[in-house]
Structure 1
Amino acid sequence: MPNLLDIELLRTFLTITETGSFTRAAEEVHRTQSAVSMQMKKLEEMIGRPLFERGARSVTLTPDGFRLLDYAQRIVSLSEEAAAVFSEPELQGQVTLGVPDDYADRLLPRVLQAFARSHPHVELVVRCEGSSSLGERIEKGELDLAIVTKCDVGEGEVIRREALNFVGAREHATHLADPLPLAAGPQTCSWRRSAQHALESVGRKYRVAYTSSSAAPLISAVLAGLAITILPESAVRPEMRVLTERDGYPALPPCDIGFLRARHARSAIHDALAHHIVTRIGNLSPAVLADAAE
């Protein structure tokens, strides 16, 4: 039977990745540096593989270290969630969350399921609008929290980064059309601007055939074989095909997904939902852990 992973070892492992230093991690977990080193040695023995590559002044995660990182985040998060369910006072009330429909059907269920389990008496009101509109509502205090496309808003914390892709329907050859019919957001949409710039950079002729601030009509146009569109990887559906450089499509810059919080949203309910958003859909972790001790 495989060794069960120790939660405290995983907490220390995560603290090292977050602080970028064995020394600072030791301060965070209230242990000596040598104790932290011993913990990581024990964790590596349990995993059976090295997790760190140590240099003179820095340490980096090995490929196995990165593999463990995702599991460690989920294991510790679930442990904290389970403890909160039985130890924290039950929260009640209402919280409003804004999210573009690009993300609603793929990313949002991860948040809703966990939040409902932990806080069954909180009413969660979800509003789907474009990122720019959500940013304005947050600023006016009409929403508590929002998940947005970062470059469309310019503020907030980046919590997730995904590849942005040209996509077409698997059952249609619309991607071969000349000029290319494009389904995209309004002119203010950063994905639209990125797609147009990329196509123009390779001399690909196109026309904007469908425009909508909602993802549903754009996806419908793609699946009907009427156009191609631009989507982050989490929104790509099985019946779609990602169009790459082999298909004659240039690479697009990544999509940064951000998190906004209104100035008034500082209660325990808001803290709880914010925690679930960041831990459930966030995927950013440091690639290099600098200034670490041996």
Structure 2
Amino acid sequence: MNSLLNFVLLKTFVAVAETGNFTVASQHLNSTQSTLSQQIQRLEALVGQPLFIRGHRILALTETGEVLLSYAKKILALNDTFFMKMTGNAIIQTIRLGFPEDLASGQVTPTLAIFMQDNPNIRLEVTSGLSRQLHQRYQHGELDLIIVKQRKGEFKSHYHWPEPLCWLTTNRREHLNTDSVPLIVFPENGLYRNDMFKLLDIEQRPWHITYTCSSLAGIQSAITDGLGVSLLPVRAKLPQHRILTEEDGFPTAQEMEIAMHFHTGSDTLNALAQQLARQLGRL
């Protein structure tokens, strides 16, 4: 039974169990899927029972697997703590974060800097991108903590804040072309894009796309220079912009929300992510 304390097998098991996917787990461990599969088979042979229910797209744990996962996390955490105490060297942990471009600065970065100062053996790996893409990567186990924009209640989240929207145009011109509304939009699958189309269609106002950009700064600049109008968060309004209201023929858009998601496991990495989440939640 002492063979069960093979830390390599336990680490592989935890990675596969938490991601539910051999491909993602192999990327986390810098190994191959075949190697991980063989290690899981060895562990199952030692336990004498299957640890995963096969045949599903996402691997699910058996009852034995769930029990082992709880113990495996504790064993690995104790192992890390022991060697930290004996050697005086803390093990480097990397927390993978995902933020939309406009949230990856401002109040967020100072909080990240303070967290790194308080936890010198933590590495933060920040990815910026569209909210839907970041949420997909989070669901696949590729990110540990994300702050994304979503429709109110679209996905259950640990922290969320209101995100009111408004129509914006340049303040350099008094009147808009009423024949067809020129729209400045994010690429397909970007937030607010389809909302603009639907809102104007309801009002039976003709529209056309004049500018597409994946960068918020690019969208803001295009609005400033008078290339068209766009639907953006109120906080994205610049001094060079003017808000368009129902009096201008632009219907009020439904409020969205900013949501923070993070994994809630009991291992060291998840505990650190939860600590960071609490600090970001106070912003």
User: What TM-score does the superposition give when structure 2 sets the normalisation length?
Assistant: 0.58
* Partner amino acid, structure 2, of 1:115: F
C-alpha distance in 1, partners of 2:122/2:261?
Answer: 20
1:176-218 deviation digits (Å, cap 9, x = unpaired): 4531111112332341111111111222221112223332322
C-alpha distance in 2, partners of 1:277/1:177?
Answer: 43
CA separation of 1:239 and 1:201: change in aligned 2, threshold 3 A:
same
Does residue 130 in structure 1 map to residue 133 in structure 2? no
* Partner amino acid, structure 1, of 2:132: S
C-alpha distance in 1, partners of 2:193/2:139?
Answer: 24
Aligned partner of 2:160 in structure 1 is 159
Which 5+ residue runs of structure 1 have no aligned equivalent?
Answer: 1-89, 281-294
CA separation of 1:133 and 1:95: change in aligned 2, threshold 3 A:
same
Aligned partner of 1:277 in structure 2 is 280
* Partner amino acid, structure 2, of 1:212: C
User: Larger relative CO (CA 8 A, sep 6+): 1 or 2?
Assistant: 1
C-alpha distance in 2, partners of 1:153/1:233?
Answer: 20
Aligned partner of 2:102 in structure 1 is 102
CA separation of 1:170 and 1:118: change in aligned 2, threshold 3 A:
farther
Counterpart mapping for 1:1-294 below 5 A: 93-106=93-106, 108-109=108-109, 111-112=111-112, 115-116=115-116, 118-119=118-119, 122-151=122-151, 154-157=154-157, 159-173=160-174, 175-176=176-177, 178-262=179-263, 267-280=270-283
Q: CA deviation at 1:146?
A: 0.7
C-alpha distance in 2, partners of 1:114/1:178?
Answer: 52
C-alpha distance in 2, partners of 1:173/1:119?
Answer: 53
Structure 1 counterpart SS, 2:252: coil
Q: CA deviation at 1:150?
A: 1.7
C-alpha distance in 2, partners of 1:269/1:278?
Answer: 14
CA separation of 1:189 and 1:91: change in aligned 2, threshold 3 A:
same
C-alpha distance in 2, partners of 1:242/1:107?
Answer: 24
> How many residues are aligned here?
191
CA separation of 1:251 and 1:110: change in aligned 2, threshold 3 A:
farther
Q: Which has the larger radius of gyration?
A: 2
Q: CA deviation at 1:224?
A: 1.6
Structure 2 counterpart SS, 1:189: coil
CA separation of 1:106 and 1:171: change in aligned 2, threshold 3 A:
farther
1:217-253 deviation digits (Å, cap 9, x = unpaired): 2222112211211111222222222211232211000
- Superposed CA RMSD in Å reads 2.9
C-alpha distance in 1, partners of 2:107/2:178?
Answer: 32
